[in-house]
A and B are shown apart, each in its own frame.
Chain A
Amino acid sequence: MATASFRVWRGDAQGGAFADYTAEISEGMVVLDAIHRIQAEHANDLAVRWNCKAGKCGSCSAEVNGMPRLMCMTRMSELPLDKPITVEPMRAFPLIRDLVTDVSWNFRAKMKIKEFKPRKPDAPDGTWRMAQEDVDRVQEFRKCIECFLCQDVCHVIRNHQLQEDYIGPRLFVHTVALEMHPLDTENRIADLKKSQGLGYCNITKCCTKVCPESITITDNAIIPLKERVVDEFYDPLRMLARLVWPDSKPPG
């Protein structure tokens, strides 16, 4: 059985420091197992949030060797053991204690997004008809487990703290799932430009890189939304067309 060294962040909003620990590593272990072992053997008061241990609840988000990851989905066998493994809380969010952060801002920001507004029912019994292929496109976005790793890695939130003006990749994914929904009739494009800060995204693709559900956030969610904003606000030919035909709207 191998031994691995860890540098785990210990502290709260007032301050803290990295603490060094060692833990026995066996085959099949993930970082969360190691943190639990440290908790059991060396630091009973180490705060760590977790739930499903299957990559589906999004609770154990942290930064392992500097990259945002789910601790339960990061195998010890994929990490180099020659140096201590760094485990720290998500830097983009206020620290509560040790590895636990306050992610409630994400839910408050979500409240700003206009809700799903379906068209009138297609059938007299109040039901709708949708083509499977139209729904398939938004299924990708419904895989999101709200781990907020994409929010954590986004430099607009992480480095520039523009939370007041920018909702971040997770909430762009939520918005695009509504915007592309074949039944939805709401228009969220003006909000995206004006109050939700879509223009702040400079397409680093870091959010796509860290998504544990492999959602192609940048290419399939953010850029299509940017293009819809261009349709409404930056396309000179469309501006001209709207002058001639004021009631013209994009199809769909």
Chain B
Amino acid sequence: MNTTGESIASLRFGQTTRRDLWWVQTVTVLVVLSSFAAYATWAAFQGKNYYWGPYLSPFYAPEIWGSSPNAWFGPKPLWWPDWIRFSPALIILIFPLGFRLTCYYYRGAYYKSFWADPPSCTVGEPRHSYWGEAAWPLVLQNIHRYFMYPALVFIVLLSFETWKALWFTNPADGSKVFGIGVGTLILAINVVLLGGYTLGCHSLRHLVGGRIDRLSQTPFRREAYRCASCLNRGHMPWAWASLFWVAFADLYVRMCAMGIWTDWRIF
């Protein structure tokens, strides 16, 4: 028997006896979320090239004020402060941003990747102090359901934008004609993925039925709970797929608007 002088006491930052590539997931989440945040910030501040033909970028939908024909109430409002560059996306992005930021799945993911709390299961942490979500500021994560409500409204609004993406302007007489372009499909897939992500939300699952102990007495809520639970089981893949696709949908519309990509009309 040979012995090696190691301590089994608490682990230093990054120390572990795990032998798998535990850091791969941590780093991947860090890179993907950082890349998305960088692209979304850049795209949101552009304030141009966010619509083409019948397509409106999901980062800018609904366009409450703005310069495109999709704007509900016309151009930039008078109350907008001069020291902030105007972009229609800045008015609405707080809702999807807040929904994802307080999402139970993303919380677990970014606590590991951005705060190393812990970097991965059974891996040593950089700090001894810890408050979790029991104290300020992370206790604010408990408002997740108040971002979920607008997220549900956004699904309806984005569905309407997809409906509008089915109607192309006839260059000959300016009339609207029904059609399907690649962009239409991209926007439709975006709604499906965002719907799968939002309708599987843990808070929604709780509110539609999870909080009731005798679901058998409320058949409608029982079915709603079953549906939400079914989607909730795949909450992580829905979260990543919808995150990737919403950025891709913005990129597609932007590339078309800039004339770099050509939208292929399928029908």
User: Which residues of chain A in 129-171 are interfacial with respect to chain B, using CB atoms and an 8 Å cutoff?
Assistant: 131, 133-134, 137, 153, 155-156, 158-160, 162
Query: Are B1 and A20 in contact, CB atoms less than 8 angstroms apart?
Result: yes
Query: Are B111 and A18 in contact, CB atoms less than 8 angstroms apart?
Result: no
- Which 6 residue pairs spanning A and B have beta carbons closest together? A199-B134, A66-B18, A131-B216, A66-B17, A206-B121, A227-B206
Query: Are A200 and B130 in contact, CB atoms less than 8 angstroms apart?
Result: yes
Complex interface: chain A residues within 8 A of B130 (CB): 156, 159-160, 162, 200
Shortest distance between the CB of B26 and any CB in chain A (Å): 11
CB-defined A-B contacts under 8 Å, sample of 15: A7-B4, A16-B8, A20-B4, A63-B17, A155-B125, A184-B213, A197-B134, A202-B107, A202-B133, A203-B111, A204-B118, A205-B108, A224-B206, A234-B142, A252-B211
Once the chains are docked, how many angstroms separate the CA of A9 from the CA of B3?
9
User: Which residues of chain A in 190-237 are interfacial with respect to chain B, using CB atoms and an 8 Å cutoff?
Assistant: 197-206, 209-210, 218-219, 223-224, 226-231, 233-236
Q: Number of contacts between A and B (CB, 8 Å)?
A: 166
Complex interface: chain B residues within 8 A of A203 (CB): 104-105, 107-108, 111
| Interface band, chain A | 35 or more
Query: Are A219 and B202 in contact, CB atoms less than 8 angstroms apart?
Result: yes
Interface of B with A (CB < 8 Å)? 1-6, 8, 10-11, 16-20, 104-105, 107-108, 111-112, 117-118, 121-122, 124-125, 128, 130-135, 138-139, 142-146, 202-203, 206-207, 210-218, 222, 232-233, 235
Query: Are A235 and B122 in contact, CB atoms less than 8 angstroms apart?
Result: no
Complex interface: chain B residues within 8 A of A198 (CB): 134
- The chain B residue sitting closest to A155, CB to CB, is B118
Complex interface: chain B residues within 8 A of A201 (CB): 132-133
Query: Are A180 and B213 in contact, CB atoms less than 8 angstroms apart?
Result: yes
Decide yes or no whether A181 CB sits under 8 A from chain B: yes
Query: Are A153 and B122 in contact, CB atoms less than 8 angstroms apart?
Result: yes
